[in-house]
């Protein structure tokens, strides 16, 4: 495990200064790292993918618990240093570690067996796009636990009718059962962020909602509905459907009130609207 002194020492040796641009806040508390691994329900048979491993505090804990770990890191200096950290701290597990030096949003394949779990302290500025990209690209991921800004955690786990229910909530729900899995204070990070963090658990659905519409078609309806979330769906979906009248027709065919708003709909209802438009 890497403690606060280890993290600062490693960072100094590498000349690393955490940057806001990449949303870098390194976890320096070993108990928090253990809690993340425990909450993620990492099993000895798991192949874990970690996004944004940073200096490796969570990576080492994951390697101790899982069968193997693949870390995806965009930062050149951090990516170059991580294999050496693993080899020095956990030599008996080093062969079960792989590093992919790439932007997680562009990753389309990973070395070794397909990942079964995603566990990550996601950079705040790209948390939702990265999460959705990984769930789409790697259908073998059954369980996910991500640490994100508290506000983002609320949005991801929100239920229809909630004020913060929106695009992230619906899209995450297309792939998985989503719930808040705990809160994380600011003091466990270096540098300490000026916002609180939260854990979000996502357990992959056995299959996405049953519909003849494609995921892309369903997500297009979701995007349109929330682009003007104060408007009724008849008005908000006019551009998507070609006219307000066409939107109303699709909504009625889907069994959804044209006067409803996007924040009231489940992912299944969005799928029905997409299907009705064909």
Q: Are 140 and 115 in contact (CB under 8 A)?
A: yes
Over residues 86-109, the mean pLDDT reads 97
pLDDT digits (tens, 9 = 90+) for 30-59: 899 999 999 999 999 999 999 999 889 999
pLDDT at 173: 97
Mean pLDDT of the chain: 93
pLDDT at 128: 97
Residue 269 has pLDDT above 60, yes or no: yes
Residue 247 has pLDDT above 70, yes or no: yes
DSSP 4-33: HHHHHHHHHHHT----TTTT--EE--HHHH
pLDDT at 23: 53
Residue 21 has pLDDT above 70, yes or no: no
pLDDT digits (tens, 9 = 90+) for 118-139: 999 998 889 999 999 999 999 9
Element housing 176 (H / E)? strand 176-184
User: What are the contacts of 177-184 at 24+ separation with CB within 8 A?
Assistant: 177/202, 177/203, 177/205, 178/202, 180/153, 180/154, 181/39, 181/145, 182/35, 182/39, 183/150, 184/32, 184/147
Q: Are 127 and 148 in contact (CB under 8 A)?
A: yes
pLDDT digits (tens, 9 = 90+) for 174-221: 999 999 999 999 988 877 778 899 999 999 999 888 899 999 999 999
Q: What percent of the chain has pLDDT over 70?
A: 96
pTM listed for this prediction: 0.92
pLDDT-derived band at 249 (thresholds 50, 70, 90) equals: very high
Task: Give just the sign of the alpha carbon dihedral 267, 269, 275, 277.
Answer: negative
Over residues 60-67, the mean pLDDT reads 97
Element housing 118 (H / E)? strand 117-121
Over residues 105-125, the mean pLDDT reads 95
The edge-to-edge listing of strands for the beta sheet with 97-101 is 97-101, 68-73, 47-51, 117-121, 143-149, 197-204, 176-184
Residue 79 has pLDDT above 70, yes or no: yes
Q: Are 145 and 200 in contact (CB under 8 A)?
A: yes
Over residues 251-255, the mean pLDDT reads 97
pLDDT at 19: 55
pLDDT at 3: 72
């Amino acid at each position: 495990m890497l403690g606060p002194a280890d993290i600062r020492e490693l960072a100094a040796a590498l000349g690393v200064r955490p940057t806001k641009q990449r949303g870098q806040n390194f976890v320096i508390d070993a108990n928090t790292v253990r809690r993340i691994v425990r909450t993620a329900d990492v099993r000895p048979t798991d192949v874990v993918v970690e996004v944004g491993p940073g200096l490796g505090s969570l990576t080492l804990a994951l390697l101790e618990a899982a069968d193997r770990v693949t870390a995806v890191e965009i930062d050149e200096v951090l990516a170059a240093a991580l294999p050496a950290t693993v080899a020095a701290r956990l030599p008996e597990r080093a062969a079960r570690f792989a590093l992919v030096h790439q932007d997680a949003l562009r990753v389309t394949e990973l070395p070794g067996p397909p990942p079964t779990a995603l566990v990550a302290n996601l950079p705040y500025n790209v948390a939702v796009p990265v999460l959705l990209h990984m769930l789409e690209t790697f259908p073998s991921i059954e369980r996910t636990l991500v640490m994100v800004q508290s506000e983002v955690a609320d949005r991801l786990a929100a239920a229809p009718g909630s004020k913060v229910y929106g695009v992230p909530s619906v899209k995450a729900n297309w792939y998985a059962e989503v719930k808040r899995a705990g809160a994380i204070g600011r003091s466990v990070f270096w540098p300490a962020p000026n916002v609180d963090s939260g854990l979000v658990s996502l357990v992959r659905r056995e299959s996405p909602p049953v519909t003849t519409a494609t995921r892309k078609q369903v997500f297009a309806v979701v995007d349109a509905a929330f682009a003007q979330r104060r408007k009724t769906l008849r008005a908000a979906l006019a551009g998507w459907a070609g006219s307000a009248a066409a939107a109303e027709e699709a909504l009625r065919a889907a069994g959804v009130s044209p006067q409803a708003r996007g924040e009231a709909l489940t992912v299944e209802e969005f799928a029905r609207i997409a299907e009705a438009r064909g």
